[in-house]
Amino acid sequence: MRAEGLEVIGVLGSMESEAGVKVLVERAVESFGGIDLVVSTIGGAPYARSFDAISEDELLSTMRINTWPPLALIRAALGGGLAEGGGSVVSISSGSPRKTTSAMVAYAASKAALNAMTRTIAADLAARGVRVNAVSPGLVRTTATRSTWEADNGRAAGAALPLGRLTEADDIAGAVAFLLSEDARQITGVTLDVDGGNHLRGGGWTPIR
In this prediction, residue 201 has a pLDDT band, given cuts at 50, 70 and 90, of confident
Assigned domain for 159 exists: yes
Number of domains in the chain: 1
Q: Please state the pTM of the whole predicted model.
A: 0.92
Mean pLDDT of 77-102: 94
Closest CA to 34 of 78, 80, 84, 76: 80
Answer for the pair 198, 162: CB distance below 8 angstroms, yes or no.
Answer: yes
Please report, for the domain that includes residue 33, its CATH number.
Answer: 3.40.50.720
Q: Is 47 a catalytic residue?
A: no
Catalytic residue among 47, 69, 107, 180: 107
Q: Judge contact between 43 and 92, C-beta under 8 A.
A: yes
pLDDT (average), residues 136-160? 92
Question: Which residue segment(s) compose the domain that 174 sits in?
Answer: 18-194
Q: Report if residue 206 sits inside a domain.
A: no
As a dihedral over the C-alpha atoms of residue 20, residue 193, residue 89, residue 2, rounded to 10 degrees, the angle is 70
Cβ neighbors of 126 (< 8 A, separation 6 or more) are 188, 189
Instruction: Tell me what pLDDT residue 205 has.
Output: 52
Mean pLDDT of 147-161: 91
At 49-68, the pLDDT tens digits run: 999 999 999 999 999 999 99
Check residue 17 and give its pLDDT. Answer: 87
Please say if the pLDDT value at position 204 is more than 60: no
Q: Please name which of 109, 132, 17 lies closest in space to residue 62, comparing C-alpha atoms.
A: 109
Instruction: Dump pLDDT digits (tens) for 4-37.
Output: 999 999 999 888 888 999 999 999 999 999 999 9
Mean pLDDT of all residues belonging to the chain: 93
| Residue 208, pLDDT score | 43
> Is position 102 within any domain?
yes
Q: What angle do CA 135, 149, 42 make, to 5 degrees?
A: 35
Neighbours of 51 (CB within 10 A): 11
